[in-house]
Structure 1
């Protein structure tokens, strides 16, 4: 290559390299590499605390979180306690400076720790800690120390330099350091009332009071008032190592559907937030910032935010903050409350925060304040990804189901344009007496009454009371099926009835039998030959009789019941060999419903209304499947 051209080549290459490096620095290498892999979507990019995934939802990583590395307080505040003390905190202050051992007595049980355990977990050497670092000792007198450590009575003063100095301040010269503490106290009882704080504790190491590192914190007098940072190393212990460590309560995860500032009035009954005092189904009628959840049993549930204040706390401390705390939940136990701090409808995000409380149990027992110490930022969650909500009370979920069931029953009648409809064994009816302002919604299954919901109109408004609601999971599934298919079932029954002019002689769609599904037939024959489990034998005689009477046919609902019986048998005998491999219930139902439709179509010709073998088509399809 010509030397002059070679020079131009290298100059051009250098120019391109410079542009590349400039772009790399300017636009952040993470943006360049983002297409190379998917990163787990937790919350926002800059998290308040370390997070990890639990059931695909972000939760605090308690293995990395300590009371010392919690986010600082975002606002300042103070509280006058019933015992005359004041608890105050400033924005930016670390929580370990404010919280005391007593605040977490029931929640975390930090009082069960001793200094040796703390040192091992936190990775600190006990033998280099000064007595002055253990703030608890400043208010202990000799009597308190002896109650916590009776073995000190047999130690000589010379073995305990700090105690020796205290005795020297109280007694006149002439005593020997070789005397035991027990001997000194028996002859000079006034020594026992001398506090350790009267001497300079920074001159002594912790181990110069022999055995103090193995004494549980709760053995010391007034341990509850000791700040977290007054116990050496405690603020460095991961929350996962606490005697009663915070952990997910339950495993319920939902999707955050949408964050909103206001609430629709007809959605009040689906609230899952509140307090331990009022429960976690507290309606909100104004300033109802919230997030709406989706998925599973929490579909449409509302988690109200901090704008709603609810009753909290108990005992004398329960009067702090006017006895109120922001609405929220306790997905990780009683240590702190999780609150929806703010929502951004435009961005589709919600900010979650932690709120803590003040507790003072023991003697005197002042109870606990509402959860109002906060907010401490927790995380930002986005629209659509999963959010962990903890365990939802069975009563709350049942109230959701009750409301939904009543709504479905009423909508079934509305869709069918009637006040009474029967599908299979289920009879749904609605009675209304406009003259006396009474009404009643009922659901019966055969002779059994499953739902009874009377309504009475009064000058003060409607009186609504559910007298009875007793729905099994099976009943619930059938109601949902009827609701989804009400129009088609109603139209089909009407057309069939019109074809022959005698509705009473025709079965409802749900009563039409189709051949036993081939996979269910194999399972049925195998289990009849080799034996059913104890919990799955019930009802087999009825199924067997029906199959014999109808020449191997069952209703779709009966076959669905049989499917779950076979599945339950397998689950109860997991350790036993299982040659029966059932397809999914969706596949089985798809086949059965298709055969039923074909049986209906084959029952009448479109023009002549002539009856033919209504089961021929279903038989053919079953044979093909076999």
Structure 2
């Protein structure tokens, strides 16, 4: 009996000992953030980063492989705002391509010049047979009027009404026939009547309006309101076909020196921010995760703060009020079409994941152009490790 009691007593001591050791081990995991790193390592990534060109002058996206359809948003969202057609609502779902809910006007920037494209150019690059598409497939035709079409499509006004079936049927619908299209377009009764109100656009081939495919997108009335997927082939068109990208200034480059997590606080040598606040906005709070830079002169020691923790003022005009007027801190090294934001930082492995954030832009009658803060995201972008070159873009101001 005594031998059995000693055995049970020893077992109890071992059990208490290992329970204490296990508790301390788990406490250390939580206190020093090791648990989060292990869980992050074990869990699969939500989506892949963008294809890159690895250059000593800084990592840049491989524009020949980057397209809207591959930009997948990571979080749900919705917003209601004043637009060119009254109150509008934008809704998006995690896992959705931004081409499905972002509009052409959101990317009206000289760095992309997306509006200078035409359907012929897109179709030639993509191998699309436009004669197999319908007028309704080109979304912005739905709100064009006869006057706006005459203005947009070269030579259309000089054609006879009967020679262009959709316009012939549209005119007949309102009791008009014969003559030049330009003359019919001057009829005050049709000046504000969209084409889609008189005819079913699905009944006509896209090529039934001669030269429509050769008109640049920005010649059409309210072209900014079309979704990216509303332009045939645009969502899968690689960005090397966007003419504005050739004008980017990528000369301001540094290196990722040291990724530091959110235990960092009150950092003032910032090279991140926004167009509205500038790009040297200090992080005066407890969680200032960032990646520290190295480079020429005073570039060394500067800090690109994580937008996951620090928010800054953004946007202009009446849409500035969206998202409380805030956006994640970051930079715009590749132009104003999107913002690059430091997101996840893995201090142990020396890795930094950056993301893209987008904004809503509208041109409203009697008000002009207005843009929201960059708050639509995150969309996976470039991943860096220590000593990787990074393009900082303009401006090149240092704190």
TM-score category of the 2 structures, normalised to the smaller one = 0.7 to 0.9
Could you tell me whether the CA contact under 8 Å between 1:130 and 1:205 is conserved in 2?
A: yes
Counterpart position of 1:235: 235
Counterpart position of 1:105: 108
Structure 2 vs 1, CA of residues 205 and 390 (structure 1 numbering), >3 Å: closer, same or farther? same
Q: CA deviation at 1:248?
A: 5.7
Could you tell me whether the CA contact under 8 Å between 1:290 and 1:305 is conserved in 2?
A: yes
Counterparts of 2:231 and 2:145, CA distance in 1: 18
Within a 5 Å distance, the mapping from 1:353-432 to structure 2 comes to 353-361=355-363, 363=365, 364-382=367-385, 384-391=386-393, 393-396=395-398, 399=399
Q: CA deviation at 1:151?
A: 2.7
Q: 1:263-294 CA deviation, whole Å, 9 max, x = no partner?
A: 254xx332111111111111112221111223
Counterparts of 2:289 and 2:313, CA distance in 1: 18
Larger Rg: 1
Could you tell me whether the CA contact under 8 Å between 1:329 and 1:389 is conserved in 2?
A: no
Q: CA deviation at 1:56?
A: 5.7
Q: 1:466-485 CA deviation, whole Å, 9 max, x = no partner?
A: xxxxxxxxxxxxxxxxxxxx
Could you tell me whether the CA contact under 8 Å between 1:312 and 1:371 is conserved in 2?
A: yes
Aligned length: 344
Counterparts of 2:95 and 2:57, CA distance in 1: 32
Work out which of the residue numbers 296, 312, 316 in structure 2 matches 1:314.
316
Structure 2 vs 1, CA of residues 221 and 260 (structure 1 numbering), >3 Å: closer, same or farther? same
Q: CA deviation at 1:226?
A: 0.7
Counterparts of 1:88 and 1:349, CA distance in 2: 32
Q: 1:500-530 CA deviation, whole Å, 9 max, x = no partner?
A: xxxxxxxxxxxxxxxxxxxxxxxxxxxxxxx
Counterparts of 1:205 and 1:94, CA distance in 2: 27
Counterparts of 1:58 and 1:150, CA distance in 2: 42
Query: SS of 1:361's equivalent?
Result: strand
Counterparts of 1:237 and 1:258, CA distance in 2: 35
Counterparts of 2:394 and 2:136, CA distance in 1: 46
Structure 2 vs 1, CA of residues 372 and 164 (structure 1 numbering), >3 Å: closer, same or farther? same
Counterparts of 2:352 and 2:249, CA distance in 1: 20
Q: CA deviation at 1:48?
A: 1.9
Counterparts of 1:155 and 1:295, CA distance in 2: 62
Structure 1: any 5+ residue segments left out of the alignment?
A: 1-43, 400-626
Q: 1:273-329 CA deviation, whole Å, 9 max, x = no partner?
A: 111111111111222111122343322221100110011111111111111110111
Q: CA deviation at 1:231?
A: 0.8
Q: CA deviation at 1:344?
A: 2.0
TM-score normalised by L of structure 2: 0.80
1:121 corresponds to 2:125: yes
Counterparts of 2:57 and 2:376, CA distance in 1: 30
Query: SS of 1:85's equivalent?
Result: strand
Counterparts of 2:373 and 2:184, CA distance in 1: 47
Q: 1:304-362 CA deviation, whole Å, 9 max, x = no partner?
A: 00110011111111111111110111121111111111112233222110001111136
Q: CA deviation at 1:104?
A: 1.1
Within a 5 Å distance, the mapping from 1:170-569 to structure 2 comes to 170-171=174-175, 179-185=179-185, 189-198=188-197, 199-245=199-245, 247=248, 249-263=250-264, 265=266, 268-286=267-285, 287-297=287-297, 298-306=299-307, 307-361=309-363, 363=365, 364-382=367-385, 384-391=386-393, 393-396=395-398, 399=399
Instruction: Let me know the Cα RMSD of the aligned residues.
Output: 2.3
Counterpart position of 1:552: none
1:75 corresponds to 2:44: no
Counterpart position of 1:148: 152
Counterparts of 1:119 and 1:240, CA distance in 2: 15
TM-score normalised by L of structure 1: 0.52
Structure 2: any 5+ residue segments left out of the alignment?
A: 1-44
Counterparts of 2:336 and 2:377, CA distance in 1: 15
Counterparts of 1:338 and 1:370, CA distance in 2: 13
Structure 2 vs 1, CA of residues 48 and 86 (structure 1 numbering), >3 Å: closer, same or farther? same
Could you tell me whether the CA contact under 8 Å between 1:66 and 1:237 is conserved in 2?
A: yes
Counterparts of 2:333 and 2:263, CA distance in 1: 24
Could you tell me whether the CA contact under 8 Å between 2:306 and 2:343 is conserved in 1?
A: yes
Structure 2 vs 1, CA of residues 395 and 73 (structure 1 numbering), >3 Å: closer, same or farther? closer
Counterparts of 2:312 and 2:201, CA distance in 1: 46
Between 1:59-68 and 1:147-156, the stretch displaced more is: 147-156
Counterparts of 1:359 and 1:60, CA distance in 2: 24
Counterparts of 1:288 and 1:183, CA distance in 2: 65
Q: Highest relative contact order (Cα 8 Å, sep 6+), 1 or 2?
A: 2
Q: 1:225-254 CA deviation, whole Å, 9 max, x = no partner?
A: 111110111122221221312746324131
Counterparts of 1:360 and 1:159, CA distance in 2: 36
Counterpart position of 1:158: 162
Counterparts of 1:182 and 1:56, CA distance in 2: 54
Counterparts of 1:205 and 1:104, CA distance in 2: 28
Work out which of the residue numbers 93, 97, 101 in structure 2 matches 1:94.
97
Query: SS of 2:59's equivalent?
Result: strand
Could you tell me whether the CA contact under 8 Å between 1:47 and 1:380 is conserved in 2?
A: no
Query: SS of 2:166's equivalent?
Result: helix
